[in-house]
Amino acid sequence: MKNKYDVIMIGAGPSAIFCAYELMQKRPETKILMIEKGRRIEQRKCPKRDTKVCVGCQPCSITTGFAGAGAFSDGKLSLSPDVGGNLPEILGYERTTELLRESDQIYLQFGADTKVYGINEEDEIAKIRKKAIQANLKLIECPIRHLGTEEGYKIYARLQKHLLERGVEMRFLTMVKDILIEDGEVKGVITDQDETFFADEIIAAVGREGSEWLSDICRTYGIETQVGTVDVGVRVEVRDEIMEELNQSLYEAKLVYYTPTFDDKVRVFCTNPSGEVATEYYENGLAVVNGHAYKAKDHKTSNTNFALLVSKNFTKPFKEPIQYGKHIAQLSNMLCDGKILVQRFGDFIRGRRTTEERLVRNNITPTLKDAVPGDLSLVFPYRIMKDIEEMIYALDEVTPGMASDETLLYGVEVKFYSNKILVDKNFETNIQGLHAIGDGASVTRGLQQASANGLSVARSLLKKWN
Please give the pLDDT value at position 45.
83
Please give the pLDDT value at position 295.
78
Please give the pLDDT value at position 159.
98
Please give the pLDDT value at position 87.
96
Lowest mean pLDDT among 70-74, 201-205, 440-444, 461-465: 70-74
Whether 259 shows a pLDDT value over 90: the answer reads yes
Please give the pLDDT value at position 307.
96
Query: In the chain, where are the structural domains located?
Result: 4-112+147-226+419-465, 122-143+229-415
Rounded to an integer, the average pLDDT of 4-20 is 97
Output the CATH code of domain 4-112+147-226+419-465: 3.50.50.60
Of 458, 391, 436, 438, nearest to 84 (Cα)? 438
Question: Other C-beta atoms within 10 Å of 441: how many?
Answer: 32
Q: Are 362 and 406 in contact (CB under 8 A)?
A: yes
Whether 193 shows a pLDDT value over 80: the answer reads yes
The overall average pLDDT reported for the chain is 93
Separate counts of helices (H) and strands (E) for the chain:
13, 21
Whether 75 shows a pLDDT value over 90: the answer reads no
d(CA 180, CA 183): 10
Residue 270 — φ and ψ, nearest 5°?
55, 65
d(CA 242, CA 240): 5
d(CA 342, CA 354): 8
Please give the pLDDT value at position 120.
81
pLDDT grade, residue 323 (50/70/90)?
confident
Assess whether the previous peptide bond of 260 is cis (omega < 30° from 0): no
Q: DSSP 3-state assignment of 10?
A: strand
Whether 418 shows a pLDDT value over 70: the answer reads no
pLDDT grade, residue 49 (50/70/90)?
low
CA 185 distance to own-chain centroid: 30
Rounded to an integer, the average pLDDT of 42-53 is 75
pLDDT digits (tens, 9 = 90+) for 140-154: 989 999 888 788 899
Rounded to an integer, the average pLDDT of 93-97 is 97
pLDDT digits (tens, 9 = 90+) for 272-314: 999 999 998 887 789 999 998 887 788 899 999 999 999 988 7
Lowest mean pLDDT among 47-61, 163-177, 306-320: 47-61
d(CA 422, CA 407): 40
Question: Other C-beta atoms within 10 Å of 69: how many?
Answer: 21
Of 295, 248, 301, 311, nearest to 278 (Cα)? 301
Percent over 90 (pLDDT), the chain: 77
d(CA 161, CA 181): 32
pLDDT grade, residue 317 (50/70/90)?
confident
Q: Are 409 and 345 in contact (CB under 8 A)?
A: yes
Cross-strand bridge partners of residue 342: 373, 410
For the chain, give the number of residues: 466
Whether 51 shows a pLDDT value over 90: the answer reads no
Please say whether the dihedral angle defined by the alpha carbons of residues 232, 237, 238 and 243, taken in this order, is positive or negative.
Answer: positive
d(CA 217, CA 210): 11
CA 2 distance to own-chain centroid: 36
Q: Are 326 and 283 in contact (CB under 8 A)?
A: no
Q: DSSP 3-state assignment of 342?
A: strand
Rounded to an integer, the average pLDDT of 351-365 is 94
End-to-end CA distance of the chain: 22
d(CA 152, CA 65): 14
d(CA 318, CA 312): 12
d(CA 438, CA 440): 6
Please give the pLDDT value at position 321.
80
d(CA 162, CA 172): 17
Lowest mean pLDDT among 39-53, 294-308, 402-416: 39-53
d(CA 18, CA 159): 9
Rounded to an integer, the average pLDDT of 207-212 is 86
Rounded to an integer, the average pLDDT of 160-187 is 97
Q: Are 272 and 259 in contact (CB under 8 A)?
A: no
Whether 72 shows a pLDDT value over 80: the answer reads no
Q: DSSP 3-state assignment of 93?
A: helix
Q: Are 363 and 406 in contact (CB under 8 A)?
A: yes
Q: Which amino acid is at 276?
A: E
Q: Are 362 and 395 in contact (CB under 8 A)?
A: no
> Which residue would you say has higher pLDDT here, 1 or 422?
422
pLDDT grade, residue 224 (50/70/90)?
very high
Residue 118 — φ and ψ, nearest 5°?
90, 15
Q: Are 63 and 414 in contact (CB under 8 A)?
A: no
